Structure 1
C-alpha cells in the first residue's frame, strides 16, 4: 500500500505531513514502489518522497520490504532535488535507450546525492545506535528521499511490485548525526584470474567520524570485501585497522564494525574486493547489470555535535591502473593476506 500515509503534492509525495507526532515517538513511514511493472530485465526504477519544508526529521532505522528473488538491490538516496518530478522513472545509469520503456529517464538526484542506506540479498532490519539518526528536511540539504530498486528480471504481464522500505523516524533531535561514506572501484576484471579491486582516499575535513556499521556489495565474482582505516605514525609507518570484512554473497546488510576507532583528519580509508573469475572466459567490466561487476564498501558512521562529512564517495579507476601498491599511492605496511582472506 504505497500511498497509505502520503499526501500527493503535484507529482511527488510529502513525507509525514499527516502524522500526529509527539516529539519523542518513533514512527514508521512506508517508502515503497507504487505498484510498478518492471517490463524488462535489468531495470532500475526510482520513486521520490518530498519532505515537508517546516520540519526536520531523524531517520533511526530501516525495515526492508523486499526479497532477493524480486529485487536485486535497493538504494535510498537523500537529494536536494530529485532527478525528475515524475512519480516513477527509469534511473538506470547505463540503461539502453532502445530497450527502455515509456518511463522518463533520469538520475536519482539532480542536485545533492547522499546514499543513506543500501540493501540486497534478503538483508534484515537495521536499527541505528541510541541517539544516532540521519537528519533530513529543514536545516539540511536533503529535501527529498529517493528509493531506487534494481529489478534484474522483468515481470510477467499483469504482475506489479511494491518493494521498498519502512523508515523508522522521530522528530526528536539526535545528538549524533549519521552519514555514509561509500568506497567504490571501477575497472576491468580479466578472465581466468583472481583480481584485487582497490580504493583509498584521505580524510581532508577537520572532523571526527565514528564508524558503527559496514556493508559489502559485489555481484557474482566477489569472494572477500574488506575495509580499513589507515593511520600513519610519526615515522611514516601505516597502521591498518580493519573496519569490516565479509563474503559479499552472504546477506548484504549493514553489520557492526570490527573496530570502531574514530577516523580523523589525515587518516585514509581503503577497501579491497577480491574477485574470482577463474571460471569466466571473458573480461568483466564494472557496471549495473548481473553480467557486470561492482566493488563497494559502505561505512556508516556518526559525528557528535557536528555535521557529517561533505565527502560522500571514495572511488578509483581500479584495475589494471590503480592498486594499493602503486608507487604514487604512498601506502605501506599493506595487509595483503588479511585483506583477501576470510580468516
Structure 2
C-alpha cells in the first residue's frame, strides 16, 4: 500500500494544510518544472469562457489518465501531477504552477476569478451551479504524483463530466475507452487517442501538456488516419440557458419553439451537429437577424450598438 506523508494526506483531503520542510536553495533546478504556458498570467484568461476552462481542465486530466498506462511516460505524469498539487488549494492563480492548476483556480474560483474571464456575468452564473469534486481530484493527482494506482478512476471522471457540464459526446466516448484501457483493442486505442489528440490540438495548443502528449502519441504510434477531425477550435460561449434566460428566449422564438431552441443552444455550446428539428426551433432568431441585415447598414449598426450595450450590462 502506498504511504503518504501527513502533508500529502492534507492535500488529498483538502480544506487545510500543514507546514512542509524547507527546501534547499535552487532545488527546483534538479528536475523539470512545468510552468503554465497557456495561462502565463491571469490576463490570458480574458479570451476564455467558463465553459472553455471546464473543457480544458477535463482534457488535461484525460491526457494524464491515458499516459499513466504506459510505463515510459509515468515520470511525465508524476512530475505534472506533482507540480499541480504541490500547493494545497487552488484559490490563487500561480504563474509557476501548471495550466491544470490554474484551470482549477478558474473553475473552482470566487467572483474575483470569474471577473478575469471573457464573460464574467455568465461565468458567475455557471460557477454558482458548479460543484466540482476537489477532494477526489486532489486524491487522484496525489496518487499519480507517487506513481501509485489511482482509485475509483471511472467514478471520478463520470463525476467530472456531470459537474463540469461536459456535453461533447466525443469527450464522453474518449473517457469511456480510456478508463477501460486494459480491455481495448489496438484499433480502439488508436481511435480514442487520435480523437483526444485532435481535441488537445484544438483546445490546448499553447498549453504545457501538449508537447509531452504529442511526443507520447507519436512514440507509441497511436495516431490513425481513420478518424476524422471534427473538433471546433473556437471558444465555447457560456450560453444563457437558465430559467431566467429561457423566459426571454420564449419572447423571441415563441412558446412552441422554446424546447427546440434550448436543445439548439446546448448542442451549439458542445460543438455538436444540430438536427433540423432543433435548428427550426432557433430559426425565428436567425430570421430576425436576417431581416435586420437585409434592411441595410443603419439597422446593422443599431444592432451592434444594442449588442455592445447588452455586453456592458452583463459585466
Ranked by relative contact order (alpha carbons within 8 Å, sequence separation 6 or more), the top structure is: 1
Q: Does TM, normalized by the shorter one, top 0.5?
A: no
Bigger proportion of residues as strand: 1
| Between structures 1 and 2, the one with greater helix share | 2
TM-score interval, smaller chain: under 0.3
Please report the TM-score for the alignment, with normalisation by the length of structure 2.
Answer: 0.25
Larger Rg: 1 or 2?
2
